[in-house]
Structure 1
């Protein structure tokens, strides 16, 4: 005979085995579709760009029905954020002209700087007059010419000749565009060139906050020994830019005089609009959108002039029109002032795919589930964790890249049907049961 403790242990083991199955069953019955997430390396967080097939599955306008799950069906902290800048190019290094200057003047020291520039602003000659009392020459301070650079400077790498004397110095920087007015710049870094027991530590870099002055002036901090420079290298990084937008062309149907209706079947974050036509035209346009057919139309862009004209074999088109705010509405409307073609024009809607970021919690592999009228993404402090990771790894840190595998169908269209509300049925059942009990009591009283 099985003892009560043994029965309790069997019941507990069965409950633990059933819990993951219940989570997996909930995932399979509450979500329309899922995709396996493929990662190439271990990382604390991952990011992936949403493809169009995910947007086609989503149900809610705010994209709340989008959640990452681990292999046991547990929700993982997930964040949806706008499309980030395109991947920036690698750092570029370029040697720049520099000129030695006297050390900073103290109380009774006097010196002046005489510079000669060419028409483009580049320095041809720098002459310093006057030196610090008690010294015949001042080394360590330098004037750097950045006028030949087009990208912002993110760092300076200083070069000096190797010597037996160790280097341990701090420098401060000033910026100017006319060699007359100077402003201090925050610079991070310490110049080091030290050796001990066959090991050597060298640091030549001064970090900057992406500045674009024409000239820089370097000076040792008070109390820091000067460094006999032999060269200056400017480190630049091309500015980050947004990725090119993707486009969807919708076919329209007439809706009154000079008005056309379109329906967008995906929850795309539309930010641009344009008119598509094979025929030449020139017209003023207005664009509206709304989520439901019975909702009022909302103006999404100020009236603009769109055209498509031929010029000596070349087709000239008007630029796409930016919307006042991103929109995911289902219904769109174009209104023209002078559309003469028989067929409705096409509506081009532009968007930049958003990024989904999730933390590496739970047991991989992870899955992305989308499309549900019953479930929604759970709030999680993902932004705070990302900020902490960026502070630890550096400002340029990003979550590791991930991608989606082949789609896996789950509940399909059934996941888009709202769950039944059993509250009213339950209330009616309680009322009927209560009425039956009261009737039974009354019958017993009559019989007695």
Structure 2
């Protein structure tokens, strides 16, 4: 009997469905032997996905086996080719920079924040015995694009080994240390030259300053150049247009339901002509329970968003879409009119996103399928980013895998894939208890039999 129980316990469990994705799409490859491919996600993929991070969007081969793939929920902006620009810079005494780290008292700016002059500025550097100045840089509209800072000395043949502290600020008051020690070296020996005058910089701060770590020794500065990387936005905006639920109203707010895990980054409303309303915007999702553990709470996204629509001389004008502070993947949305704003009717809510993509390797047998929609996926993806970064470094920043396109969608497992599977019964644990009980019973039976055999026989009378 025990052998039979062991045999039953080791049988494969058949409760797990072999096909656990709701929908599938055939993938058409632009090149048959590219090795790596990239397919853009369309609205049907976001509609089918169950998880916020799209972990249930995968690629499988002709045998149904998963291949190495990674999903990017939203389009990632790419860096354009580097361009070199002459930077606006000012020289000022070290004492001015050290006065409570507040340069706003010595720097004059225009209404846009551009530095136009510096009081007590240093006319030049390099004079004998003169203290090395602090260099102040205003990146202006190129803030956030700087990748490298190059120093151009007036004396290209000077021998120097200088140290600077690189700092950054947004307001000329509070300063952050970006690099505690930058070394600038320029050496010449028998016709050979060693030059290191480039500083790697990646920051979104507008103002930079280089503070000398030595008192003197720096030659005159001829200029500062910056290597800028402009951002090339990938993908066009796509929009989901939602109508308010019939049960919602202006008092409690208009509610909207989004069917899918779209990476929302823009909001827009379509209102009747000649109207202006100040809105508060909320979102929520059933997978994020509220304080009571059941009904999710509304999360405030923005307050006082002024949206308007004006018809003038037959021309329709509308307010610009609102940029969100990040990617939002909630399914439920709510518009609540601020006090004093009375919309004449529920507006049409437009949610904008840039489609993401899936990158996969051509493993296994073709053809390949994109599958999506499962409540039973673990948060695992292939580690393809290091390989993609290396290929871009070798082939150029704009290198991309070969194109793959999605065909028409088809049902796979359907709605059953969205139902979480029940945890399988731990048959091994049950079996161990059965064996333990049977073993105890066998021992008890053996002991009882032994006692009976040792009882003395009654004498005959």
The answer to whether the superposition gives a TM-score over 0.5 is yes
Matches within 5 A, 1:425-440: none
Q: Tell me how far apart the structure 1 counterparts of residues 201 and 312 of structure 2 sit (CA, whole Å).
A: 49
TM-score (norm 2): 0.54
Which of 258, 264, 267 is the aligned partner of 1:270?
Answer: 264
Q: Tell me how far apart the structure 2 counterparts of residues 189 and 364 of structure 1 sit (CA, whole Å).
A: 54
Aligned residues: CA RMSD? 5.9
Which of 185, 193, 197 is the aligned partner of 1:191?
Answer: 185
CA 347–212 in structure 1, closer or farther in 2 if over 3 Å, else same: closer
1:248 and 2:240 matched: yes
The runs of 5 or more residues in structure 1 that have no matched partner are 1-25, 103-115, 428-448
Matches within 5 A, 1:23-422: 32-36=24-28, 50-60=41-51, 63-69=54-60, 73-80=65-72, 83-85=75-77, 87=79, 90-94=82-86, 120-122=116-118, 126=122, 137-138=128-129, 141=132, 143-147=134-138, 149-152=140-143, 154-160=147-153, 161=155, 163=157, 169-173=161-165, 186=179, 187-188=181-182, 191-192=185-186, 202-210=195-203, 212-213=206-207, 215-218=209-212, 228=219, 231-237=222-228, 246-252=238-244, 254-255=246-247, 262-283=256-277, 299=298, 301=300, 306-310=307-311, 315-317=317-319, 320=322, 322=324, 326-329=328-331, 338-340=342-344, 345-354=347-356, 356=358, 362=363, 369-373=370-374, 376=377, 379-380=380-381, 382=383, 386=385, 401-402=400-401, 404-408=403-407, 412-418=410-416
Q: Tell me how far apart the structure 2 counterparts of residues 335 and 193 of structure 1 sit (CA, whole Å).
A: 67
Task: Note the C-alpha offset of 1:76.
Answer: 1.0
In the alignment, which residue of structure 1 is the partner of 2:442?
none
Task: Note the C-alpha offset of 1:276.
Answer: 1.3
Q: Tell me how far apart the structure 2 counterparts of residues 347 and 271 of structure 1 sit (CA, whole Å).
A: 13
Moved more, 277-286 or 175-184: 175-184
Q: Tell me how far apart the structure 2 counterparts of residues 219 and 422 of structure 1 sit (CA, whole Å).
A: 65
Contact 1:77–1:379 (8 Å) recurs in 2: no
Task: Note the C-alpha offset of 1:66.
Answer: 0.5
Q: How many residues align?
A: 364
Task: Note the C-alpha offset of 1:137.
Answer: 2.1
Task: Note the C-alpha offset of 1:267.
Answer: 2.7
Contact 1:140–1:219 (8 Å) recurs in 2: no
The runs of 5 or more residues in structure 2 that have no matched partner are 1-17, 95-105, 110-115, 288-293, 428-461
In the alignment, which residue of structure 2 is the partner of 1:108?
none
Contact 2:19–2:412 (8 Å) recurs in 1: no
Task: Note the C-alpha offset of 1:346.
Answer: 1.9
